[in-house]
Each structure stands twice: as C-alpha cells, then as structure tokens.
C-alpha cells in the first residue's frame, strides 16, 4: 500500500480533472490528499469544487508579481508550506517556469488532450480533427520547461470519426483523461515511475486494455 501522497493542484478553469482526482481519493482508490488548489483566474470554477470538498484554495494573481519567475516562486513557496510532494496541473493554462520546476523536480504532472508528441499546445483536439487522424487520445507527462514536451507517463487512445467535431472528440477524450490521470498519480504514489534518459520507466506495470482504445464509435446518424 502506498503512503499518502500530498498533492497541490493548479487550475485555470472548470477543473474537471481536479474533480476526477477528488472522486478517486474519496472513493479510497487513490492514496493521496489534496493540500492546496491554486488558481490563476479568480473566476475559475475549480474553486467551487474545492469549496464543496473542503479543500484549501488560493487565488494567485499573475499581475501582482513583477515577473513570471517571481509568480512561480510565490507559487512554489505556498505549495512547499503545505507539504506538497506532487504538483498536478488540471487545466492550468500557463507554461511552468524554472522556480517551480526546480522546487519540484520530476514531480509536476500535466495531462494533454492528444497523443504526444503529436499536436502539442492549445486545441489538440481541433488539430486532430483538422488533420483527419483516425486515432487521437490523451497523455499524462512530467512537466519540463517546454510546451507539452516532458517525459510521457501514460496514454489512452480513442477513435476519431471523420464526422467528429472538435467538441465531440473533446468529450470522448475527456472521459479517458478522467481515468488515466488518477492512475498516473497512483503510480507516482507507489514509487513506480522512474525517469531515465528522457523517458519514463514504470516498474511492474501492465497497461490496462481500456487505456489502449476506447469503446467503438458505433453507428452515427
């Protein structure tokens, strides 16, 4: 049994992955405790989720810091004060800077709605639809100084129909995000993730079939 892992969550918007993590913790299937939610947007709905589940939260205004590095230094300080061991980006719409990376080496996770290294950056789902791919998905990875460039931990693939809109594909991918993000955190909590030569090795792990391909699309009208 893994030790209880202290999490810090960063979010900018609705925080649906934040909710998925909360649900797994409350179900007793994820050995973790959320010590702090930090948002960079005062109107982020993730705050309402934190209130509902009695989770400490903090709005850090980016405009209140003289530089981007100062902003992330302040963030690192708040997380460290609460004993956070793993930082989880849940729809956090900023590139993480060096002060936070240095404070949490190989201990910051992100989830991206595409099969990296394809379609990094914004609107990965729209990019997939526009390029006519037949398989897309989502990726959990460690965060480095680039945009969606860190070592890949776990991926899930979903089918793409030629008739899909960006919203339809986004919804299908999001369901898988909610499954694999808590799984990646669980693997971290169990000490089974090891970064070597820019790649992640997972000790004693067999990928679950449901993370390979989502159920078929079925007939479409």
pTM, rounded to two decimals: 0.89
Share of the chain above pLDDT 90, in %: 71
Mean pLDDT of the chain: 89
One of 112, 131, 194, 208 is an active-site residue; which one?
112
pLDDT reported for residue 122:
72
Q: Which of 175, 167, 187 is nearest to 215 (CA)?
A: 175
Catalytic, 112? Answer yes
| Per-residue pLDDT band at 218 (split at 50, 70, 90) | very low
Distance CA 102, CA 117 (A): 24
Tokens of 51: 């209130």
Binned at pLDDT 50, 70 and 90, residue 127 comes out as confident
Q: Count the neighbouring beta carbons within 10 Å of the beta carbon of residue 163.
A: 10
Task: Please state the rounded mean pLDDT for residues 208-214.
Answer: 51
* Higher-scoring residue by pLDDT: 44, 162: 44
Determine the average pLDDT of the residues in 152-181: 91
Query: Can you give the pLDDT at residue 207?
Result: 61
Please report the pLDDT score of residue 214 as a whole number.
44
Residues 53-74: b if buried by 16+ CB within 10 A, e if exposed: eebebbebeeeeeeeeeebbbb
Q: What is the pLDDT of residue 105?
A: 96
pLDDT score of 161 = 85
CA–CA dist 192, 197 (Å, integer): 16
**The CATH number of 112-221 is which of 3.40.640.10, 3.90.45.10, 3.60.20.10, 3.40.50.170?**
3.40.50.170
pLDDT for 73: 98
Outline which parts of the chain fall under CATH 3.40.50.170. Answer: 1-105, 112-221
More confident call, 124 vs 17: 17
Picking from 92, 174, 108, the residue whose alpha carbon sits closest to that of residue 137 is 174
Hey, which of 62-66, 118-122, 164-168 has the most confident mean pLDDT?
62-66
Q: At what angle do helices 166-189 and 124-131 cross, to 10 degrees?
A: 130
1-105, which class in CATH? alpha beta
pLDDT given at position 209: 52
Range scoring the smallest mean pLDDT among 109-118, 146-155, 205-214: 205-214
């Amino acid at each position: 049994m893994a030790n209880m892992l202290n999490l810090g969550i960063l979010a900018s918007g609705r925080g649906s992955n934040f909710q998925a993590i909360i649900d797994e913790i409350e179900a007793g299937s994820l050995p973790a405790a959320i010590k702090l939610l930090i948002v960079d947007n005062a109107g982020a709905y993730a705050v309402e989720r934190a209130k509902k589940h009695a989770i400490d939260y903090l709005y850090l205004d980016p405009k209140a810091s003289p530089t981007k590095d100062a902003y992330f230094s302040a963030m690192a300080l708040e997380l460290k004060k609460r004993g956070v061991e793993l930082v989880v980006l849940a729809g956090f719409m900023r590139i993480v800077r060096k002060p936070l990376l240095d404070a949490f080496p190989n201990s910051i996770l992100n989830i991206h709605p595409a099969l990296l290294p394809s379609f990094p950056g914004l609107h990965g789902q729209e990019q997939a639809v526009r390029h006519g791919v037949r398989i897309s998905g989502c990726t959990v990875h460690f965060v480095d100084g680039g945009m969606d460039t860190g070592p890949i931990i776990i991926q899930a693939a979903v089918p793409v129909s030629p008739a899909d809109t960006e919203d339809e594909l986004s919804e299908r991918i999001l369901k898988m995000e909610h499954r694999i993000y808590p799984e990646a955190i669980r693997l971290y909590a169990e000490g089974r993730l090891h970064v070597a030569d820019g790649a992640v090795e997972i000790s004693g792990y067999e990928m679950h079939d449901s993370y390979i391909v989502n159920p078929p699309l079925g007939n479409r009208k």
